């Protein structure tokens, strides 16, 4: 943790009603994320940028949103701060689409200050998404936090954050390094392959190209690719096909059906094409959940296997 004073800053003008915490919450993995946190009304985010390590602080000040950067990559994160805050989010056409369904119209009005962030950095989201594959949220967070701490490098700035791991370090680590973190060989190898492709992913021009490159990596399916591009590129149409909960949530919210599969989810979301991921994000922000039947998935530890 070095440099308690920002080396770059910029004042942003958010739209009326903008909600910072709700907009950037997808960039944090629980309140205890070692790479990002919300403290009071300030969002702190550590990143490895093309210009070097950096920490970004976003804080509301007298109607503006003040972006402050720390570290060698301060200029990069401050220049991109509006995208990270979701202020480049393009809602063109969404109001007309939302008006076609009473639930979506209501949620769009209630959460009008919600924006979708776009970090411009692919690998940090790949790290999290791969570790979230087919496990509970608690298992995924434990693996993510342990992985970040294993490769620990303090982020610049006045708060105690860690930088996401260097892709080269992850790619070079044998799969068994991740076993004590509760990560079985399948996810560990997928993560290592994705880390080896990080350079190519960083050069992708947009969401569509990144999706193609991601899907070409063995172990990365449509769910993982959608989770990545929705955050790295702010893709409002990215739908996490293959999710355990989202099809049920969509079916319940849009059709009153307690259960739905991927095909049903996509059919219900089709009228919102171009903003299908945005609809899912609104349902998540509103806390919409389908009725639960049966036991919850157990929390396991692959470290004991």
Tens of pLDDT, residues 156-176: 999 999 999 999 999 999 999
What local confidence, expressed as pLDDT, does residue 298 receive?
53
Write b or e for each residue in 17-32: b if 16 or more Cβ atoms lie within 10 A of its Cβ, otherwise e: ebbbeebbbbbbbeee
pLDDT at 299: 47
CB-count burial class (<10 Å; 0-12, 13-18, 19+) for 121? buried
Q: Computed over its alpha carbons, how large is the radius of gyration of the chain?
A: 19
Number of residues in the chain: 305
CA atoms within 13 A on the CB side of 287: 2
CA distances for 36 relative to 198, 237, 290, 293, angstroms: 21, 25, 29, 34
Q: What is the pLDDT of residue 300?
A: 52
The mean pLDDT values, 10 residues at a time, for the chain of 305 residues are: 81 97 96 95 98 98 96 98 98 97 98 98 98 95 98 97 98 97 97 98 97 98 98 98 96 97 98 98 96 61 54
* CA atoms of 112 and 18, how far apart (whole Å): 8
Please state, in angstroms and rounded to a whole number, the distance separating the CA atoms of residues 57 and 69: 6
In the chain, what's the furthest Cα-to-Cα distance?
54
> CA–CA separation, 125 vs 47, rounded Å?
11
107/7 Cα distance (integer angstroms): 39
| Phi, psi values for residue 72, rounded to 5° | -60, -30
What per-residue confidence (pLDDT) applies to 212? 98
pLDDT at 303: 58
pTM of the model: 0.93
Predicted confidence at residue 116, as pLDDT, reads 98
Counting residues of the chain whose pLDDT is more than 70, the rounded percentage is 95
């Amino acid at each position: 943790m070095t440099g308690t004073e920002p080396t770059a800053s910029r004042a942003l003008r958010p739209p009326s009603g903008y909600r910072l915490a709700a907009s950037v919450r997808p960039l944090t993995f629980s309140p205890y994320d070692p790479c990002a946190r919300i403290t009071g009304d300030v969002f702190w985010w550590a990143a490895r940028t093309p210009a070097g390590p950096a920490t970004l602080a976003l804080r509301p000040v007298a109607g503006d949103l003040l972006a402050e950067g720390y570290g060698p990559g301060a200029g990069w994160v401050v220049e991109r701060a509006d995208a990270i805050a979701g202020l480049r989010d393009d809602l063109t056409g969404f109001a007309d689409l939302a008006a076609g369904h009473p639930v979506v119209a209501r949620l769009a009005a209630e959460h009008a200050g919600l924006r979708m962030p776009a970090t411009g950095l692919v690998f940090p989201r790949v790290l999290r998404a791969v570790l979230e594959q087919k496990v509970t949220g608690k298992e995924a967070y434990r693996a993510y936090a342990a992985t970040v701490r294993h490769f620990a490098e303090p982020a610049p700035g006045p708060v105690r954050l860690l930088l996401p791991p260097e892709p080269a370090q992850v790619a070079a680590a044998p799969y068994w390094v991740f076993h004590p973190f509760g990560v079985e060989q399948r996810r560990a190898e997928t993560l290592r392959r994705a880390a080896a492709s990080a350079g190519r992913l960083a050069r992708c021009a947009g969401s569509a190209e990144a999706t193609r490159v991601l899907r070409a990596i063995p172990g990365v399916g449509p769910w993982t690719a959608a989770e990545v591009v929705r955050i790295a590129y702010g893709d409002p149409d990215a739908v996490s096909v293959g999710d355990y909960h989202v099809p049920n949530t969509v079916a319940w919210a849009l059709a009153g059906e307690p259960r739905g599969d991927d095909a049903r989810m996509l059919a219900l979301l089709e009228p919102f094409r171009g903003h299908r991921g945005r609809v899912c994000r609104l349902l998540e922000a509103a806390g919409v959940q389908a009725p639960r039947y049966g036991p919850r998935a157990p929390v396991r530890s692959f470290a004991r296997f």
